[in-house]
Structure 1
Amino acid sequence: MSFYTVGTRTNYYFSHGEGRPVLLLHGISNSGRAWAPQVPALVEAGYRVIVPDHAGHGASGALDGPFGVSDMANDTLALLDHLQIETADMVGLSLGGMVALELALRSPERFGRLVVANSFAATTAPQFKAMAQSWAAIFEQPHGPVLRLEQNWPSLVSPAFQATAEGLRTYQVWHGIAASADGPSLAHVARGITDFDCRERLADLAHPTLFLAGSEDRMATPTSIKTMADLAPLGQYREVEGASHIANVDSAQAFTGHMLEFLKQA
């Protein structure tokens, strides 16, 4: 079965392959399907790939109140316990990167190498809080998740990717996923993630960590990602040229190359 329970909630995950486990953690309002470009490459490289849908996302159950980074970390640890996995590597993008950092800092013995892409060290600034509140307001409108995707697609992936056949296919798939998303749950997440701040804790991050930035990302800028890498004792920084915020999708080949090269160093 591809479901596990946390309290009264049921979450969905996808697992495939054999070998060392690697968790793929997606961003807000997305789902595990966003990792489709990386799953085959990881399985072929000999990993067991585990792709959860965060609570309130994808095929996981709905939420009835604010739900933050710490809550998602709790769910992920419950998933590892459910699968009887003692240690795993992690790849997280955007919100998924924050969850990965929270997990590694809180339960360092459970994790190995980390890839943190297009993500944030803190969400407590007034600008981020205002942005998250605007997301929540859109999610709560009729068909809000579709509306947000239509508004944000140009800033999520690069113009070059948007103009390709693969870009159009991806947009259609994500549009359909957004059409079935639960807007109130996503609003709970948007409001719940604005208390995350690991900047002072990054000095305690004991794991080899690759911080990936998209050169054209205007949300999680290359400068901010490099600052995170500099604060982490074993941090490395790489920049994906031409990539926007969802770098694993619009620059899948380059992203996957950086990811596999780093993970294989173990």
Structure 2
Amino acid sequence: MAYYEVQGRSNYYMEFGQGRPILLLHGISNSGRAWGPQIPALVAAGYRVIVPDHAGHGASAPLTAPFGVADIADDTEHLLSRLGIGTLDVVGLSLGGMVALELALRHPARIGRLVVANSFENTATEEFKAMSEGWARLFEEPHGPVMRFEQNWQVSVSEAFRESPEGMRTCQVWHGIAATSHGPSLAHVARGIAGFDVSGRMAGLAMPVFFIAGALDRMSPPDLSRRMAEKTPQATLCVIEGAAHISNADSADEFTARLLGFLSSQPG
């Protein structure tokens, strides 16, 4: 079954493959389809790949109130419980990386390896609050998710990717996702995530952590990942040259190779 119920809402997810569980968490206004470039390689490497759509995103039910990182983590815990999953690896990008950090700090013994890509440790800043409020107001306008996608596509991925055949295919798919998105729900998430702050808790990450940054990322510049890595006991940092904010899409081959290398490496 591709849905699970939590607090009267129906959330969507998919699974691929068999083996050690690995959870893939997407960014705001996207969906689990964003992980398409990585799923086949993870299945081939022997993973059971779990790909949810966050509440208010993709095929999951709409939201009626602000919904933050902790709320998405709560939903994710319900999904893992429903699937009977104990220990697992977790990969998150942007908003998904924030959720991954929240889960790892809640359950350090359950997560074997953690990957945080193009993400943030602290959104409780005036700058981020102003940015997320701007997103929320745009999402609330008629066809707001499409307008935001069209405004952000050029900074979300690199120019080289945008002009490539795969970039054009991805643009069409993601544009369609935006066109069927529920703008008020995305506004609730945009407002809900402004206030997340684990900057003083990074030393509590007990597992190996792989931080991935894109050299061209203007939303989450490499210095943010570098600072997170400096605070984390078992951290590795990778900056992908030529990658922008959604590095798993615009630099999919390198991202996937780096991801698999980290997952298969020996601790310490």
TM-score interval, normalised by the smaller of the two chains? over 0.9
- Equivalent residue for 1:34? 34
Q: Is the partner of 1:109 in helix, strand or coil?
A: coil
Give the Å deviation of 1:7.
Answer: 1.2
Give the whole-Å Cα distance in 2 for the aligned partners of 1:107 and 1:202. 13
So what's the TM-score if we normalise by structure 2?
0.98
How many Å separate the matches in 1 of 2:241 and 2:42? 22
Q: Give me the whole-angstrom Cα distance separating, in 1, the residues matched to 2:150 and 2:219.
A: 17
Q: For 2:210 and 2:117, locate their aligned partners in 1 and report how far apart those are by CA, in whole Å.
A: 8
3-state SS, counterpart of residue 213 of structure 1: strand
State the alpha-carbon separation in 2 of the partners of residues 203 and 39 from structure 1.
30
Q: Is the 8 A contact 2:125 2:195 kept in 1?
A: no
Equivalent residue, structure 1, for 2:134: 134
CA distance in 2, matches of 1:197, 1:234: 20
The answer for unaligned runs of 5 or more in structure 2 is: none
Equivalence for 1:121: 121
Counterpart residue number, 1:144: 144
One-letter amino acid of the counterpart of residue 43, structure 1: V
Task: Quote the residue 1:9 is aligned against.
Answer: 9
The aligned counterpart of 2:162 is: 162
SS for the counterpart of 2:109 is helix
Structure 1 range deviating more: 123-132 or 107-116:
107-116
Q: Which residue of 1 aligns with 2:219?
A: 219
1:99 Cα deviation from its structure 2 partner: 0.2
> Partners in 1 of 2:105 and 2:250 — Cα distance?
29
What is the Cα deviation at residue 111 of structure 1? Answer: 1.2
Amino acid at match of 2:214: G
Residues 106-131 of structure 1: CA deviation (Å, up to 9, x unaligned): 12122110110000010011000000
Q: Distance in 2 between matches of 1:146 and 1:251?
A: 23
Q: Is 1:94 the equivalent of 2:94?
A: yes
In the alignment, which residue of structure 2 is the partner of 1:195? 195
1:24 counterpart SS class = strand
Question: Among the aligned pairs, what percent are the same residue?
Answer: 62
Distance in 1, matches of 2:72 and 2:39, equals 21
Structure 1 counterpart SS, 2:181: coil
Name the counterpart of 2:209.
209
How far apart are the structure 1 equivalents of 2:225 and 2:204? Answer: 17
Partners in 2 of 1:249 and 1:134 — Cα distance? 25
2:256 aligns with 256
Greater than 6 Å deviation, 4+ residue runs: none
Q: How many pairs were matched up?
A: 266
Query: What displacement does 1:211 show?
Result: 0.3
TM-score (norm: length of structure 1): 0.99
Pairwise CA RMSD of aligned residues? 0.6
